[in-house]
Amino acid sequence: EKLETVFSRCDVLIGPAIAIPAFPLEPDLDDFTRNLTAAAFNICSRHPFVSVPSGFAADGVPTGIVVVARRYDEATALRAAAAYEKVRRWNRRTP
């Protein structure tokens, strides 16, 4: 419910898709470690989110952002993500 008060002041939240640089997928990592972003917003439930490319780290590893919208407002999350991709065009670059 506290997250809903944030959405009374903004349309979307944008943040890093993962809080650490990308890493090789190791078999001993638990599901929570593999899905840090998804876990956070699944806990909040019903807040749609989409991840899009946001550039590259200094070592060339791709980075991403996550766009989160109000409950059940998938259209706003997708429109904001598409607008970001249209301007930044990271989705068309490779390391």
Assess contact for 35 and 17: CB atoms under 8 A: no
pLDDT, average across residues 3-13: 90
* Tokens, residue 92: 């068309």
Beta strands in the chain (DSSP E): 12-16, 49-56, 62-69
What is the average pLDDT across 16-34? 64
Please state, in angstroms and rounded to a whole number, the distance separating the CA atoms of residues 46 and 8: 16
Burial 43-52 (b: 16+ CB within 10 A, else e): eeeebbbbeb
* Band of pLDDT at residue 35, cut at 50, 70 and 90: low
Q: What is the pLDDT of residues 50-94, one digit of tens each?
A: 999 998 888 888 888 999 999 889 999 999 999 999 999 877 777
